Structure 1
Amino acid sequence: TAILHWAESWVSHDVAFRLLAEMRVALFRKLDQLAPAYLVRRRTGDLVSMATQDVETVEYFFAHIVAPAFVAIAVPVGVLVILGVYGWPLAVSALPFLAVTAVSPLVARGRVDRLGSRSREKLAEMNSHCIDTMQGLHEVVAYNMGRHRRSEFMEMANHYAEVRVPFFRELTLQKIYMELVTGLGGLIVAIVGSSLVLSGSLDAGLLPLLTLLTMSAFLPISEISTVGRLLADTIGSTRRIYAVQLEPVLITDGEVDEVKRTVIGLDRVEFSYDFTASRALDDVMFAIEQGRTVALVGPSGSGKTTTAHLIMRFWDPQAGEVDLGGQDLRDYVLSDLRENLALVAQDTYLFNTTLRENLLIARPDASEDQISAAVESAGLSGFVETLPEGLNTVVGERGAQLSGGQRQRIAIGRAFLKDAPILVLDEATSHLDAVNEQMVRGALDRLASDRTTLVIAHRLSTVMTADVIVVMDRGRVMESGTHTELLERGGLYAQLVSHQLSGAGRAEGRA
């Protein structure tokens, strides 16, 4: 028995953990295909809960329930056979009670499954709230929102309890019912057995053993109540995971695996996000010639970053076309397309690992000389020298141990290290002070040399030397030209320059 128990445990856990690994890999692969369009519609905590707790729930079911469920079938069948051998009336009397015990958990299956699914959703909401609170802890403390966030969490916890308590109430009632049926089943078998003993059809010494054997048949079936609880949780978790797997992949691979030219063109591009009815881009048309620099400027919300994201192919336009080298971006293999693109975004994400590993994201096979050159070019050398372990210093979650300027210089270092022929700079110097901006701007000028470059900036002083400046407002291209040409026209660009110069003058006056 011990050997069989060990074998059952080893096989079930081996299968379950293999399933767990496959499920997590499949979920990560699917999220990778859906990102980033899908991720903006889901809360981080919900996805974390899905990748950890929901997958673990499914694994636990297969590791701890499938084998006992098999036993719950095999043992009663074996007991009925033995009872039939010694006296068929015993088997006939026990069979209805065993059948009722087995079927009873299925009676309220629909309600239990619904409660299980709702409880998984409520638990995911609690996890999301916790993660939001921890990630925004500075704002929570600064605005004295601790009590408010705590009351919100308690309200969610109460809602979770309101769903979970009825769930366990249903299972408890089922367990009480099955214990009652078990007792009655054993009693009936004892009564029938006694009549068989009186008639001489059964040895009196066997009756207690057969009664105990009958009671033992109910024990594995009674575990179906536990199976019912875990099955409800498992169904709820599986539905959540399966819902992600059913999401359509909007950004798919093409067949072209080589970028021959880096000229970029946008032809009557229209785009809007799912969460708003207004268009982020409306009939946008402009081109970036190979090796040239084009700057996008305009008020906040004018569509500059959205344009960059379409060029990176984070999204596809609903109308029009974004092409690279005369080929629609949708025709390229995604991995090959993005190998030719380097992005320095306004908000840089740093992983909770070393500075070196954060740089190597751009080029995992880079040599020490290449890393050192990127660090030097991004103006990070002095900062790295002050770190206790240099490039091997852990930067903290989201780079929390670093300043905004330091995080942005690391992003610039990644771009230097990747050395891609197309460069997208989205507010690349927005977090730098005047001294560091001058230093990094020179490095960015060297980086952009002979590359196809798109620059997005609010500081118009950083785009004056661009080959072409495209001015956008409310998702449309209002005008384009060089710095001098746009000033002479006296349009929106000239107004933006005037506003910035007057703002700088007032700041100097106050100083």
Structure 2
Amino acid sequence: MTRTYPRRARLAFGLATGVAAQLAAVGLLLASAWLIVRAAEQPPVLYLMVAIVSVRFFGISRSVLRYVERLATHDVALADAVERRVETYVDLDRAAPGGLGDLRRGDLVSRVVADVARLQDRLLRLRLPWWVGLAATLVVVAVVAAIDLRSGFVIAAGVLVCGTALRRVVSSVGARRSGRAEAQGRLSAEVAASAVASRELVAFGAAGQAGAKARTATDDAESAQSGGASVAGLGSAIVLTIAGATVAVLAAWSSGPDPVLIGVVLLAPIALIEPWDGWSEAERLRPEVTAAGERLAALAALPNPVSDPADPRPLPESYDLVVDAAVVGWDGPVTAPVSFKVAEGDAVAVTGPSGVGKSTLAYALLRLLPTWTGTVLLGGTPTTELAASDVRRRIGYLGQDDVVFDTSVRENLRIADPQADDDRLRDALASAGLLAAVDAMPRGLDTPVGEHGGRLSGGERQRLCLARLLLADHRVLVLDEPTEHLDAPTAEALMDDVLALAGPGGRSLVVVTHSPSVLARFDTVVALSRVDP
């Protein structure tokens, strides 16, 4: 309630000042027309003082009112955009574990961001121009009708024809030529995919094919951009044609107002070109804004992989983890029922052939995905009776290729806890076996790690991700192939530090691996198998 009322009040104030600014622009032109015609009669200068002052007033107030209108309406639009960004992030966070449909990495960054920004135009460049233009137009029609009724009807007819033509022609043509966001999304996706896989593309001689796809995407983006310009030109042509025709009809059919007012009547349609151009631009953008809203609505409608209970139970203090006859899989059951227990401080390895569902089981432990059958208990409480966010506070996950951001060691760690001081950062690095290496770097914690951690070795990169996980203070750590892509000595040293985290009063470990050397270090090994067909 406290958010809605101020928004409506600010929007109403902005709309009112927008109408006043538009009327000031119209008044400036019409008052100038009257002043020129009347001055040609060479009356005493005092007869012209009101018109002279009016021209000055309209000229100054137009700029002031336009600034105030922009201030009020953009305040509302930007506040709405912030809320929309948060809602979109929540939708992405909720739906990502289950997949985001056909969105690729570059497409996600480009199109979703562009769609959220485009929805901001729904108020500023779609609705407000129509509201302001209609209000100002009605006032102009009423003023002209008071001067000469027939002229008022002529201008009203011109307004009706212009509004209808713009709404039907520009909007429909724009819908056929829209697709700029999709084209830019495809271009970003192709460029991002080529950049990420550049080494492999060159190694296998596929760089030419990737370049051809990128060039095709570039041509599509250029075509979409030029299509938008041609629609804008069409709208301007319609506005100018109807305004000119209205002036011609006024000159031929008006019933003969006072000669001093002839300039006012004939220039009235010209004064309406500015609001009509606003309508034209609004209709050009309408297909893009509508499409952006539909795509974000489709994102919001993606199924929720897991649902929180209506009344979640409190997170238990104990962090014993029990898996009881659980069956997991994405589109259907994949694993045969599996059961095991990880007591506080214990370490358990999970293995099995490729595609058997090892990583899927890890997701189910964090309640990112549901189990098809069976139960996962945390501290004696089924995780389905806990809020998913609470489960993830207690259970942390380190994947095979966790994201390392192109920033410093410090900022990569603080993703887990933005308030962590240097002592806590160094403790986490020490537990992950990376402190000595960081201290040896030229800038220590402030050392840039490069894109995707490219300035770090494979082992250092994995240890940095582990330190970030430890900083979040999870009590149960699920590590998915932690030694993947590492040479034997580095993998062994990493596992030494990982296993040192377990023990009485320490962390519980669930390590997913197919490495025989890693499996040999665990007393408890759980072997997954496929469900019977």
1:293 corresponds to 2:371:
no
Instruction: Give 1:162 shift.
Output: 5.7
Equivalent in 154, 163, 172 of residue 215 of structure 2: 154
- Cα distance in 2 for partners of 1:305, 1:131 equals 26
1:356 corresponds to 2:417:
no
Any stretches of 5+ residues in structure 2 without a counterpart? 1-61
Identity of aligned residues (%): 27
Question: Conserved in 2, the CA contact under 8 Å of 1:292 and 1:467?
Answer: no
User: Over residues 286-341 of structure 1, what are the superposed CA-to-partner deviations in whole Å (9 max), with x where a residue is unaligned?
Assistant: 33344432211222222212111111112112333222233221211223211212
1:13 corresponds to 2:68:
no
- Structure 1 counterpart of 2:150, one-letter code: P
Name the counterpart of 2:56: none
- Structure 2 counterpart of 1:136, one-letter code: A
Question: Conserved in 2, the CA contact under 8 Å of 1:30 and 1:244?
Answer: yes
1:258/1:2 Cα in 2 relative to 1: closer, same or farther (>3 Å)?
A: same
- Cα distance in 1 for partners of 2:346, 2:328 equals 25
Instruction: Give 1:211 shift.
Output: 0.3
Count of aligned pairs between the two proteins: 467
Name the counterpart of 1:89: 150
- Cα distance in 1 for partners of 2:241, 2:483 equals 74
TM-score (norm 2): 0.80
Name the counterpart of 2:524: 468
1:138/1:336 Cα in 2 relative to 1: closer, same or farther (>3 Å)?
A: same
- Cα distance in 2 for partners of 1:65, 1:419 equals 48
Name the counterpart of 1:52: 113
Instruction: Give 1:66 shift.
Output: 4.1
Report matched runs for 1:93-492 at 5 Å: 93-108=154-169, 111-112=172-173, 114-115=175-176, 118-160=179-221, 172-193=233-254, 196-197=255-256, 202-254=257-309, 255-274=312-331, 279-450=333-504, 451-474=507-530
- Cα distance in 2 for partners of 1:220, 1:104 equals 15
Name the counterpart of 1:488: none
- Cα distance in 2 for partners of 1:96, 1:464 equals 87
User: Over residues 409-446 of structure 1, what are the superposed CA-to-partner deviations in whole Å (9 max), with x where a residue is unaligned?
Assistant: 11222344344321212222334433333333222222
- Cα distance in 2 for partners of 1:364, 1:217 equals 54
Question: Conserved in 1, the CA contact under 8 Å of 2:111 and 2:182?
Answer: no
Question: Conserved in 1, the CA contact under 8 Å of 2:177 and 2:227?
Answer: no
Question: Conserved in 2, the CA contact under 8 Å of 1:79 and 1:214?
Answer: no
- Structure 1 counterpart of 2:463, one-letter code: R
| SS state at 2:327 partner | strand
| SS state at 2:340 partner | strand
Question: Conserved in 2, the CA contact under 8 Å of 1:352 and 1:396?
Answer: yes
Any stretches of 5+ residues in structure 1 without a counterpart? 477-511
Between 1:110-119 and 1:29-38, the stretch displaced more is: 110-119
| SS state at 1:266 partner | strand
| SS state at 1:469 partner | strand
- Structure 2 counterpart of 1:240, one-letter code: R
Question: Conserved in 2, the CA contact under 8 Å of 1:280 and 1:474?
Answer: yes
Instruction: Give 1:127 shift.
Output: 1.9
- Cα distance in 1 for partners of 2:164, 2:346 equals 74
1:459/1:218 Cα in 2 relative to 1: closer, same or farther (>3 Å)?
A: closer
- Structure 2 counterpart of 1:147, one-letter code: G
- Cα distance in 2 for partners of 1:404, 1:86 equals 82
Question: Conserved in 2, the CA contact under 8 Å of 1:116 and 1:232?
Answer: no
- Structure 2 counterpart of 1:262, one-letter code: Y
- Structure 2 counterpart of 1:87, one-letter code: D
| SS state at 2:371 partner | coil
RMSD: 2.7
- Cα distance in 2 for partners of 1:103, 1:134 equals 47
User: Over residues 462-510 of structure 1, what are the superposed CA-to-partner deviations in whole Å (9 max), with x where a residue is unaligned?
Assistant: 222423212223368xxxxxxxxxxxxxxxxxxxxxxxxxxxxxxxxxx
Question: Conserved in 2, the CA contact under 8 Å of 1:34 and 1:251?
Answer: no
| SS state at 2:165 partner | helix
- Structure 1 counterpart of 2:495, one-letter code: R
- Cα distance in 2 for partners of 1:449, 1:223 equals 69
1:120/1:415 Cα in 2 relative to 1: closer, same or farther (>3 Å)?
A: closer
- Cα distance in 1 for partners of 2:280, 2:470 equals 60
Instruction: Give 1:67 shift.
Output: 3.9
- Cα distance in 2 for partners of 1:41, 1:296 equals 31
- Cα distance in 1 for partners of 2:408, 2:228 equals 46
| SS state at 1:449 partner | coil
Question: Conserved in 1, the CA contact under 8 Å of 2:105 and 2:189?
Answer: yes
- Cα distance in 1 for partners of 2:468, 2:175 equals 48
Name the counterpart of 2:92: 31
